[in-house]
Structure 1
Amino acid sequence: MAGGRATPDKAAGLSIGSAIRDRRRGLGLTLKGLADSSGLSIPFLSQVERNLASPSLLSLEAIAQALNVDVDYFVGVPTPGQIVCRSNEHDRIDLESPVVYERLSGRHAERKMEALRLIVPPGLVAPTIHREGEGFWYILSGTLEMTVGRKKFVLNAGDSAHFDQRHPYSMRNVGKSEVRMIWVGTPAIFKD
């Protein structure tokens, strides 16, 4: 603190620059596209995104309008409901599947990962899929066979698997009881 005023925190600048870059990329905009929409220069926007310059309130407003968000999107603190998910607040995600999916992750719009609790019924064989990003599975109870590419693994309670989901993968409950597991993956797949 100097003269009773808080000095800017470098981490706060990092948050704004990263938030602008992430939102821009998420919308598929180039720096030129953002410059055209905001009326700001490409070099200035590049410096803002790299935390080499701090936008004025007017510049931040122009960036927010170009990215179709409010200014507080870049500077506001998430609400407790966006951060914490209480045990009685887990959303069930209806995918018309015999597998039960419950969201464990927060509810903020720009989350990069998803965390789910899955309940897999006995005998279920899931189709082989692949997608962008990483996947992490943690088995809470039961026995699950997973296949990644041509490799098969049997996972029991306490076992985990962390893999690149671009490789084809599938799962099968090989036990007589349901499998309870945690799945964490990137990018987030169930947007609100």
Structure 2
Amino acid sequence: MQIASTADRRRQMPMGDRIRARRKALGLTLQQLAHLSGLSAPFISQAERDLSVPSLVSLLALADALTVDLSYFMEVPDGGTIVHRAAKPRHIQADGPVDYIDLASDLADRKLDIVLMRVPPGHAFPTGQRKGEDFLYVIEGDVTGVVGNTQARLGPGDSLHFDALHPHGARNTSDRDAVLLYVGTPSIFRKAPDGVIDAGDADA
């Protein structure tokens, strides 16, 4: 009889179970995780029971508080190759209206993310900050980027490159989809060699 590995079992876990498992592995209460992440305890409780699907920004906050990469929570598809084919886009499954396509290969310890984003009209990315560097290049549409005290209107061909420790955000200010190329380091989507970030064997 074939026994599923820990990594295989974790791949099959719903997102809520993964959040709960990691929280318990760290010995955190809901209130403690809420304090660390800046999210409310009731919201985290709903997320753990899969009654609410966290946005990408909320998942980033949880990942930082739980000291895991974003890929621990998300279904980041396996590429199995260093070549990315336009005919086979690798969509990153995340809640919200933004379509994310992973352009980077699945190196076990990759240092950066390369993501193509299609952002609907009027959508705004909440202000965030983290250790690292971010680069944003506008392919189509118009966006307003904010980094620290600097605000810039960006059109096709314009870009931003900045220290991600500065509070930053962006909004699609056009009446059509904006297509953006994002490059950031360190990676928040990278996988461990087995495809899943190890969070220990804590029960859900």
Identity of aligned residues (%): 38
Residue 93 (structure 1) aligns with: 92
The separation in 2 between residues aligned to 1:90 and 1:191, in whole angstroms, is: 17
Residue 117 (structure 1) aligns with: 116
Residue 14 (structure 2) aligns with: none
Residue 86 of structure 1: how far off its partner (Å): 1.4
Residue 140 of structure 1: how far off its partner (Å): 0.5
Residue 163 (structure 2) aligns with: 164
> Once superposed, which parts of structure 1, at least 4 consecutive aligned residues long, lie more than 4 Å away?
none
The separation in 2 between residues aligned to 1:108 and 1:88, in whole angstroms, is: 21
The separation in 1 between residues aligned to 2:110 and 2:102, in whole angstroms, is: 13
**Are 1:183 and 2:190 counterparts?**
no
Partner of 1:101: helix, strand, or coil? strand
Mapping for residues 57-72 of structure 1, pairs under 5 Å: none
The separation in 2 between residues aligned to 1:157 and 1:180, in whole angstroms, is: 9
Residue 161 of structure 1: how far off its partner (Å): 1.0
Residue 138 (structure 2) aligns with: 139
Relative to its length, the structure with more helix (as a share) is 1
Show structure 2 runs of 5+ residues with no match.
1-78, 192-204
Residue 148 (structure 2) aligns with: 149
Check the 8 A contact 1:82/1:108 in 2, yes or no: no
Residue 53 (structure 2) aligns with: none
Residue 90 of structure 1: how far off its partner (Å): 2.7
Residue 179 of structure 1: how far off its partner (Å): 0.5
Check the 8 A contact 1:136/1:163 in 2, yes or no: yes
CA RMSD, Structure 1 to Structure 2 (Å): 1.4
Check the 8 A contact 1:125/1:172 in 2, yes or no: yes
Partner of 1:116: helix, strand, or coil? strand
Q: TM-score, normalised by structure 1?
A: 0.56
Check the 8 A contact 2:148/2:167 in 1, yes or no: yes
Partner of 1:171: helix, strand, or coil? strand
Matched AA of 2:138:
I
Structure with bigger gyration radius: 1
The separation in 2 between residues aligned to 1:132 and 1:184, in whole angstroms, is: 14
Check the 8 A contact 2:107/2:190 in 1, yes or no: no
Residue 128 (structure 1) aligns with: 127
Residue 98 of structure 1: how far off its partner (Å): 1.0
Q: In the TM superposition, what whole-angstrom CA distance separates every residue of 1:86-131 from its partner, at most 9, and x where no partner exists?
A: 1123311122011111100111111100000001100112110011
